[in-house]
Structure 1
Amino acid sequence: MGISKKVAIVDLSHCVACGVCLTVCPKGAVSIDRGCNSVVNEQLCVGCGKCEKHCPAGAITTKWRI
C-alpha cells in the first residue's frame, strides 16, 4: 500500500491539546507533544479526516500532500 494523498495538519495557534484527535484516529497517527498540542505523524496518517471532523477547536485540517 502506498502513501495516502492527504495528510492532517495541526494549527498550533488553535490546538488546546484536548486529546479528541487521539481517540478518533484509526491509525494512531496523532500524539500530544508535552501536553501542549497535537502532533501528526505524517508517515502513519492516512488523511481520513476523522480528526478534523471531531476537533472541537477547529485546529486540524486535511491538506493534499506535496
Structure 2
Amino acid sequence: MGRPTELSPEERADLIRRGYRPIEIWVPDLNNEALRVQLQEEARRIAEADAQEGILDWIEAAGPTDWDKP
C-alpha cells in the first residue's frame, strides 16, 4: 500500500510557513489477529465488570480524578 502521495519540498515549505507541522499517526491494525484477541478479552472483562453489583460504588470511592477538575 505504501504512503500517500508525498508533498513536494515547495508544498511542504509552504505548509510550514503557514503554521502547520508534519505529524505521523499510528492507529491499531484491526486485521492483526493478536490485537483482535486482546480487544475481545478487554471487551469481555469490561462487560463482566459492568454487570457486577457495586461497580459504581467503587468508582465513587476511588475519588475525583483530574478529569473532574474545572
Query: TM-score per shorter chain, which class?
Result: under 0.3
Higher relative contact order (CA 8 A, sep 6+): 1
So what's the TM-score if we normalise by structure 1?
0.21
So what's the TM-score if we normalise by structure 2?
0.20
Larger Rg: 2
Name the structure with the higher strand share: 1
Name the structure with the higher helix share: 2
